Amino acid sequence: MQKTNALPKKRKFFVLALSAFAVMLGMGIIAPLMPLYAENLGASGIWLGIIFASYSVSRLLFVPIIGKMSDSKGRKNIIAIGLFLYSLFSLAYVFAYNEFTLSLARFLQGFASAMTLPIIMAVIGDISPKGKEGRYMGYFNVSRFFGMGLGPMLGGGLNDVYGINSGFYVLSGLTALTFVFVLLFLKEEPSPIQKQKQVVKQSYKKIWSIKIMRGLLIFRFVSAMGRGSILSFLAIYAFSFGITAFQVGVILMANIVFLSFLQIPFGKMADKVSKMKMIMIGGAVTIVSLLFMPSTGNFYWLLLLNILWGTGRAMSIPATSAINTIEGRKFGMGSAMGLFMSALYAGMIIAPLISGVLMETIGIKYVFYFSGLATFAGVVIFYSYARGIDLKTKQEGERTVLPND
């Protein structure tokens, strides 16, 4: 009987992981191109911040709504529609002619993104066995981070050989293929919270009142400000001392490839050791790497520090994802993933805006100092909320124990 049930779960996991890989590969392709494209349209530092922030503003607005909707209406159709729109809106970049139209294209693509990755993650949360949340999220994160890591190098190569628009065409084609793949092979099934009618879906206000969730979401938001600043402005900093678009792609790829493959051992570890300690240690490694980046002046040092940054993030991500998955079983995985991703997007909105002002007023190096300090603040805040909470998952069918809630 176990073998009969295992195959559909593995098949669903494979479909979701492949879908996430394709979407993230496409996103990674345009990562090194977007700063160049924006500057070619005459965008200033502040406009660069607005362009990058518009993508996250859209996701922040729509993810909580769509996440909660997926708990009651189902997930497959939402994912499929999101992929179709993502493919369509990716072509809008080609027709952007100024800063405003580029920001609009980013906003529309952010709306489509709100229907894809967070909902895919909710399905992964649905099928994760109790006590193995870190392992399942770790394996899943390999697919999405590896796609994101491979994308920048491919995008940089496409730009150098075929021109900047080629990356947008490839992104559109990849997500169109993924849309067809999901329609054909992903089966719609009721989520656990739909099956268990006795489970009461809680309001976002109630979710916020849970101590561990409050600490987790604040940590996610503040640390995202650090991540968002670097992702938005690393390419510009690298170009300032002669690094090519292809080399920027290699740097970003190395960061995310390390982040990707370390998800497996750290995901397993998150199910066995203190999740809080993993988050604290991973945060410390991240802070050190960010604060030293402004001291680099060549490709190799920047590459090394980005590998270190990826390693630190790899340690903390499975632990935070596992905590969120455990809590999501109580009030709906779509709602949990919606809030989890919204906290990330909120930080990603503020980060480019602050970084754009810092770059224009006191210099681009201060973007890195801001990122390091923001990450430090996130670690301290999480510790203050999570200290003393022993997060344990009991046997199948029993409720998660959160003594200090």
Tokens of 74: 């189902």
**Amino acid found at 102:** L
Output the tens digit of pLDDT for each of the chain's 405 residues: 444 445 467 778 888 888 888 888 877 777 767 777 787 887 777 787 788 778 878 888 898 889 888 887 888 899 999 999 999 998 998 888 888 898 899 899 889 988 998 899 888 888 888 888 888 888 888 888 777 777 777 887 888 888 878 888 888 898 899 899 888 888 776 655 555 554 445 567 777 878 888 889 998 898 888 777 776 678 788 888 778 877 887 887 788 778 888 888 998 898 888 888 899 999 999 999 989 988 887 888 989 998 999 899 889 988 898 888 888 887 778 888 888 888 888 887 787 778 888 888 888 888 889 888 888 988 998 888 887 665 554 333 333 333 333
Tokens of 218: 């604040």
Separation CA 320–CA 337 (nearest Å): 11
Tokens of 247: 């080399």
Residues ≥6 apart with Cβ < 8 Å to 320? 216, 219, 220, 275, 279, 340
- Cβ atoms of 48 and 356 closer than 8 Å: yes
**Domains of the chain, each with CATH number or no CATH:** 9-183+203-386 (1.20.1250.20)
- If residue 8 lies in a helix (H) or strand (E), which one and from where to where? helix 2-30
* pLDDT the model gives residue 189: 67
- If residue 250 lies in a helix (H) or strand (E), which one and from where to where? helix 245-261
Give the pTM.
0.74
Instruction: Provide the strand spans (E) within 189-236.
Output: none
| 401 DSSP β-pair partners | 392
* pLDDT the model gives residue 83: 92
**Amino acid found at 2:** Q
* pLDDT the model gives residue 144: 82
Question: Using the 8-state DSSP alphabet, how is residue 188 labeled?
Answer: P
* pLDDT the model gives residue 97: 85
- Cβ atoms of 320 and 274 closer than 8 Å: no
Question: Using the 8-state DSSP alphabet, how is residue 339 labeled?
Answer: H
